[in-house]
Amino acid sequence: MTARLIDGNALAASVRGELAERVFALKAQGITPGLAVILVGADPASAVYVRNKVAACEKVGMHSLKIEYPADVAQATVLGKISELNRDPAIHGILVQLPLPGHFDSELLLESIAPEKDVDGFHAENVGALMQGQPRFIPCTPYGVMKMLESAGVPLRGAEAVIVGRSNIVGKPMAMLLMAAGATVTVCHSQTRDLAFHTKRADIVVAAVGKPKMITGDMLKPGAVVVDVGINRLPDGKLCGDVDFDSAKEVAGAISPVPGGVGPMTITMLLANTLEAAERAAEEKQ
Ligand code: GUN
């Protein structure tokens, strides 16, 4: 292995230690940060993510509420619950785990969350604020990736950054953040004609396509920094990223593993956003 490992577990532990101190300070003022997580249906991956999010809250001393519905729940029921949570002063962050079952209008649901409690940063108002360079909540996964790049000391100004994936959750906000940090950003996706042409000239590659081991070492520039957002389950039950770690680590200068890379940082930044929301609410109360 030639590449340096970008250890998401270690960074997450250090950031969570700082967050726990801030939670403690806020609790001393009589405010416990609270996160509500809504899970609809029985998607096994979503169930694991939600369980991890709720457990992470408890660990840093935050209050958390897990609300589960069967896949065939009426949209109006969930909308009613969100409206109740919007008014609940004990809840500072609300998250609806995606994807939602087919009969849901996901956009409508996300827009029903009060923007000041939208800790995922998916509400149109918050998406717009990020795009204007005035973010209120940075979506958790790209936020985590930025923290990883920062902790690894990766220079961003003037860097060539290639993002593979154009989703609202990762690719698009990632592009905004890297652009704001001074990188020259290219966003590749499933229709890109020659992916390797782009990745081979990148100083930074962020892989977020959801295709196991799609980015191989021969597609990278020697010394490139590779951050792997993918979490894919192989037929043998093992997890792997969108990057072929074994070949990529021989070419890259630094690389994040899966598991133990972006995953723990996504949850950490969700905690950070929830704490931030609670601190803002506390300030407003004063
Ligand atoms: N599904 C996959 N990633 C995410 C995320 O960051 N937030 C939510 N709410 N759902 C997701």
132 as an active site residue: the answer is no
**Tokens (6 digits) for 47:** 């169930």
Give tens-digit pLDDT for 252-273. 999 999 999 999 999 999 999 9
Q: Which atom of ligand 1 is nearest to the CA of 141?
A: 6
* pTM for this predicted structure: 0.97
Based on the residue annotation, tell me whether 120 is a catalytic residue of this protein. yes
Beta strand 63-69 with 225-228: parallel, antiparallel or unpaired?
unpaired
Pick from 98, 137, 174, 270 the residue to mutate for probing ligand 1's pocket: most ligand atoms within 8 Å of its CB.
98
Closest CA to 41 of 113, 96, 92: 96
| Close Cβ partners of 256 (under 8 Å, ≥ 6 residues apart) | 5, 6, 7, 8, 148, 226, 227, 228, 262
The tokens describing 217, both together, are 């070492």
**How many Å apart are CA 179 and CA 158, to the nearest integer?**
10
Q: Which tens digits make up the pLDDT trace of 201-239?
A: 999 999 999 999 999 999 999 999 999 999 999 999 999
Give residues (CB < 6 A) around ligand 1.
95-98, 120, 140-141, 169
Distances (CA, A) of 3 to 92, 216, 252: 40, 14, 5
Tell me which of 81, 117, 120, 221 is the catalytic residue. 120
Q: What is the mean pLDDT of residues 3-11?
A: 98
Structure confidence by residue, pLDDT tens digits, 45-104: 999 999 999 999 999 999 999 999 999 999 999 999 999 999 999 999 999 999 999 999
Nearest CA to 254 among 9, 13, 7?
A: 7
Compute, in angstroms, the gap from residue 28 CA to the centroid of ligand 1.
31
Cα of 250 from ligand 1 centre, angstroms: 31
Neighbours of 247 (CB within 10 A): 16
pLDDT recorded at residue 202:
99
Residue 272: other Cβ atoms inside 10 A: 24
User: Ligand 1 centroid vs 169 CA: distance in angstroms?
Assistant: 7
Give the C-alpha separation, 269 to 283, whole Å.
Answer: 21
Q: Which amino acid is at 183?
A: A
Mean pLDDT of 30-44: 97
Catalytic residue among 81, 97, 118, 221: 97
For residue 12, how far is the Cα from the chain centroid? 13
1 has a pLDDT exceeding 80: no
Note if 211 is an active site residue. no
Residue range 128-145: mean pLDDT, rounded: 98
User: What pLDDT shows up at residue 286?
Assistant: 79
Query: Do residues 93 and 62 make contact, with C-beta atoms less than 8 angstroms apart?
Result: no
